[in-house]
Structure 1
Amino acid sequence: MSMTSLTHIPAFHAVMTKGSLSAAARHLRLAQPTVRRHVEALEDELGVTLFTRAANGLTPTAMAETLLPFAVSTLEEAAALNRAASARADVLEGVVRLTASRVAATHVLPPALAEIGRQAPGLRFELAATDVAENLVQRAADIALRFTPPQQQALVAARLADVEIGFFAAPRLDLPADLTDLTGVPFIADDREAQMLPRLAEMGLSLPRNVVMRCDDPLAQIAYVQAGLGVGVCQVKLAQRLGLVRVLPDLSYPMPAWLVVHEDQAQVARIRHVFDHLKKTLGHWM
């Protein structure tokens, strides 16, 4: 592939992930005809058809679906190249890209990264807030906070203290003072993932019969707990900061946590500094 083709990959990726030329143009901050020209130029250079044209827009071909993972990998490597070039390896300046779950990105990392920023003002952060594990081997991020064991090779993983998860409600939620189980309380559960209720069963608990909200987004679950709709699960330390009331305090389960970095990045000063600081301080926040 020529270097010219590399300039067209963002347009192809944006159309595939955003669903249309217009959405891709907005995402890339380009004119729609420019995005179309990039896509057509990539098709010409590769000698393939990536999209079929119709009145209602572009439809990806099987070849486009096949090439998308390679486009993702190429863009991630290019972003890593830019981060690596943004600073010398031996000084605390430049970009560090992190990835974490949406709850951790919203409620756990902010005070930790703010403290790092005060200590090393030359650092800049990028954050992928996602509940999907980013690929550190392909440099989708420099550092990952994960709650599932890392599976990829060439990673340095520091096991953090388990995160205690419990049941919580807003102070305004009227619950019986002598509550002994979750059977009759208004309860907030997950939806299509269907993991929460089976886990309660594994703990030997009677399942809630009054599920008032089903939602797979953990940030939304916490918001509805805060609003007083029902009882839900939350990290214990986070719930305390949010002013929630613990329900059935004897019931809890540990969630394992890891801080992960690619072995090639582990000795880059800015990345190592952030990694070491997070390893030392995250236990205070989660």
Structure 2
Amino acid sequence: MSISLPPLDHIPAFHSVMTHGSLSGAARVLGLAQPTVRRHIEAMESNLETALFTRAANGLTPTAMAHTLMPIAEAVLEEARALGRVATAHRDALEGVVRVTSSRVVATHVLPPVLAALRQSAPAITTEIAATDRPENLARRAADIAIRFTPPTQQALVAQKLPDVALGLFAVPGLADIDGLAALRDAPLILDDREGRIGPALAAIGVPSPQNVVLRCDDALAQIGAICAGVGIGVCQVRLADRLGLRRVLPVFEHRMPAWIVVHEDQAQIARIRHVFDLLKARLPRQM
């Protein structure tokens, strides 16, 4: 039995409507006319013989099938982008696009000096940064290289272990003078919200239950911004905190995160990707 495949040019329209919530939003991003996006959606529904959206006066509402298909559409588009990256550069040339994924903190505070060095060593390489705290799937070519704080589990990956990243408690100078663990109980603290990791880590070193939590947020980048603004005492990478001019609070608290730099084994043979991988491997230990 043959299966009818949707034309590939309909998938970006579907993905964009799902992402941006409307035909007009998708049209702006794709650079298409709104009626064209509508035709692509209708053609995809006809081809698949299923409804993807329900129409109402206030716009489009995705169906259950649309939510089911969305991760597959994302994977198809990532593979298409990877095809374009590979096709735009010669395998042995230091030119073309290399896509790197990392956490938002690393993308903001750690990678820029490495990218500056890359501009010096290989100016014909263009870097794409996917700044996300969600692990990107290298097997599906969502990125060429990943910087991760969890062990790689996918097959066919080349992983280079980096030195563990040390985390500590930091604050601006005016808030950093805390005399002992007990005093931390009433100090202004910045904790995570729903992840619930920082509180147990503090309890493990004997810090009493915090009584003065001034901010809860699961976004590490936002936590660091709040620490630098003097909102309270929070967790930050030790080397990053030094560069930001923060002061260590109670050095007895230290958490270490294992780190890896990962590339798909097929991509590791491409010169421009290998060059970026080797540069990251050499420079990240000094930055993180």
The TM-score normalised by the length of structure 2 is 0.94
Give the % identical residues.
Answer: 64
Shift of 1:253: 1.2
Give the ranges of 4+ consecutive aligned residues of structure 1 lying more than 6 Å apart after TM superposition: 1-4
Correspondence for 2:135 among 122, 126, 133: 133
Matches of 1:3 and 1:180, distance apart in 2: 63
Aligned match of 2:11: 9
In structure 1, give the amino acid aligned to 2:119.
G
- Counterpart position of 2:52: 50
SS at match of 2:101: strand
Name the CA distance, whole Å, in 2 between partners of 1:21 and 1:61.
Answer: 15
> How many aligned residue pairs are there?
285
Matches within 5 A, 1:121-200: 121-173=123-175, 175-176=176-177, 178-181=179-182, 182-200=184-202
Q: Which residue of 2 aligns with 1:236?
A: 238
- Of 82, 86, 89, which residue of structure 2 is paired with 1:87? 89
Structure 2 distance, partners of 1:27, 1:235, is 36
Point out where structure 2 has 5 or more consecutive residues left out of the alignment.
Answer: none
5+ residue gaps, structure 1: none
Q: Which amino acid aligns with 1:106?
A: T
How has the CA–CA distance of structure 1 residues 113 and 176 changed in structure 2, closer, same or farther, with 3 Å as cutoff? Answer: closer
- Does residue 23 (structure 1) correspond to residue 18 (structure 2)? The answer is no
Between the aligned partners of 2:36 and 2:205, the Cα distance in structure 1 is 56
Structure 1 SS opposite 2:267: coil
Could you give the per-residue CA deviations for residues 100-157 of structure 1, whole angstroms, max 9, x where no partner exists?
0000000001101110111101100111000000000000000000011111111111
2:6, 2:48 within 8 Å by CA — same for their partners in 1? no
**What is the one-letter code of the residue matched to 2:44?**
L
Structure 1 segment 217-228 matched on structure 2, within 5 A: 217-228=219-230
Q: In structure 2, how many angstroms separate the alpha carbons of the residues matched to 1:176 and 1:74?
A: 53
Partner of residue 258, structure 1: 260
Secondary structure in 2 matching 1:157: strand
1:205 aligned residue: 207
In the TM superposition, residue 46 of structure 1 has moved relative to its aligned partner by 2.0
Q: Give 1:280's aligned residue.
A: 282
CA–CA distance in 1 between the matches of 2:58 and 2:144? 39
Does the 8 Å CA contact 2:191/2:216 hold for their aligned counterparts?
Answer: yes
